[in-house]
Amino acid sequence: MLSGSFGRESRRSAQVHPGHDGILKPPSPNGPAWIPNGCSGGALRFDGIDDYVDVPNTADWNFPLGFTLKACVRIYPGDSNSDGWMVSKHRSGQNAGYGLFARDNHLGLLVGGSDPGNSIQTPGIYNDGQWHRVVGVYSLNANTGTGLMSLYVDGELKAQRVALSACAPNNVNLRIGRYTEGYASLTFDGDIDEVQVISGVLTLSLDIIPQDCPNLLTVNLLSKGRLPVAILGSATFDVSTVDVNSISIGGVVYPVKAPSILDVSAPAGPEQCACQIGTDGYSDLVLHFSRRDLIQALGLDTIASGAAVPIAVEGQLLDGMPFEATDCVPLVGRE
């Protein structure tokens, strides 16, 4: 994952990932200017002429199977963005890479080829002087070989279509505030903060039946009980940013009561089926699902007793970023 929130002033670089500082070009005081009061702390102002942040290439930032690309941007009424690029790791003519752009102040996402069939953009314009959270999502369907592009602004889906070409890898640097090499005029006029590039979707920690270890699930189609599930908070993730109306298990099972926020668990470790009892001081989002609906929808009554089954909760954050969280439960006594 690449992540940059420009909360500190620097004359030469902007920290976008530990060990991968982006280089301010031109250098201060002529390049991107640090400003206070961004989306979270400070931000960078780009002049739309020659300002950008250059981040050295790494193969880890090529995502042919899918990605989530996020930026918080502010465009003022007087800013000019005929073809300004907020984030770009795209190589023209090679159907390679991705980027977020502002075209005549419509916000957009490009994946793969440069033709119109590989980009989507918002119907409306956003040069209103307000901060807007822009999230572009690309997901490749391994069965069909086609990729779906989705564009969210402030948590609302604004555009979506199937890309005409795949998101092939490339070896160009990632740039914030400008397009790739050779296109010096394609610069962004406005403010940028909270740039994130994530492979696939955001992965969160999940605890099914918190405070039970092992977290055994009795398979009983006669049960009318509820299954507690907790999306875990941490020092770097605030569960209040989850859009609770978007949450489901497999798109077929939904929470059956209003969620609550309280500290009920702690991450158990990197192993998917690990569990522990205890809390960590960070608030968690506690949900409840119908046990019977879950068993029927996932076909758990057809799986042998004793099997450990992964169950994934999916949804999106309030800014539109998709997430998934998975835990597994050992099944007991198919009844």
CA atoms within 13 A on the CB side of 305: 7
Residue 140 has pLDDT above 90, yes or no: no
Is residue 241 helix, strand or coil? Answer: helix
Confidence band, pLDDT 50/70/90 cuts, at residue 12: very low
Q: Average of pLDDT values for 140-159? A: 79
What does the block give as tokens for 259?
Answer: 């969620």
Hey, how many other C-beta atoms are within 10 angstroms of the C-beta on 231? 24
Helix (H) or strand (E) holding 295: helix 291-298
Is residue 2 helix, strand or coil? Answer: strand
What does the block give as tokens for 240?
Answer: 């209040």
Candidates 261, 232, 231, 234; CA nearest to 246 is 231
Q: Where in the chain are all domains bearing CATH 2.60.40?
A: 202-332
- 144 Cβ contact list (under 8 Å, min separation 6): none
Confidence band, pLDDT 50/70/90 cuts, at residue 308: confident
Q: Average of pLDDT values for 148-159? A: 88
Helix (H) or strand (E) holding 293: helix 291-298
Strand partners, 330: 308
Q: Average of pLDDT values for 143-157? A: 80
Q: Are 137 and 314 in contact (CB under 8 A)?
A: no
Residue 278 has pLDDT above 80, yes or no: yes
Pairwise CA distance, residues 159 & 301, whole Å: 39
Most confident of 5-9, 197-201, 224-228: 224-228
Fold assignment, 2-199: Jelly Rolls (2.60.120)
The conformation of residue 247, written as its DSSP 8-state character, comes to -
Pick the residue with more confidence: 289 or 61? Answer: 289
- 243 Cβ contact list (under 8 Å, min separation 6): 155, 315, 316, 317, 318
Q: Where in the chain are all domains bearing CATH 2.60.120.200?
A: 2-199
For residue 26, whether the previous peptide bond is cis, meaning omega lies within 30 degrees of 0, is yes
Q: Average of pLDDT values for 137-141? A: 79
Supply φ then ψ for residue 251, to 5 degrees: 70, 10
DSSP 59-79: GGG--TTEEEEEEEEE--TT-
Q: Which residue has the tokens 């042998």?
A: 304
Give CATH for domain 202-332.
Answer: 2.60.40
Average per-residue pLDDT for the chain: 84
Candidates 279, 286, 229, 221; CA nearest to 258 is 286
Lowest mean pLDDT among 66-70, 222-226, 270-274, 285-289: 270-274
User: Residue 272, Cα to own-chain centre: how many angstroms?
Assistant: 21
What does the block give as tokens for 302?
Answer: 């057809």
Q: Are 177 and 189 in contact (CB under 8 A)?
A: no
Confidence band, pLDDT 50/70/90 cuts, at residue 188: very high
What does the block give as tokens for 85?
Answer: 């690029």
According to DSSP, the β-strands at 322-332 and 217-218 are parallel
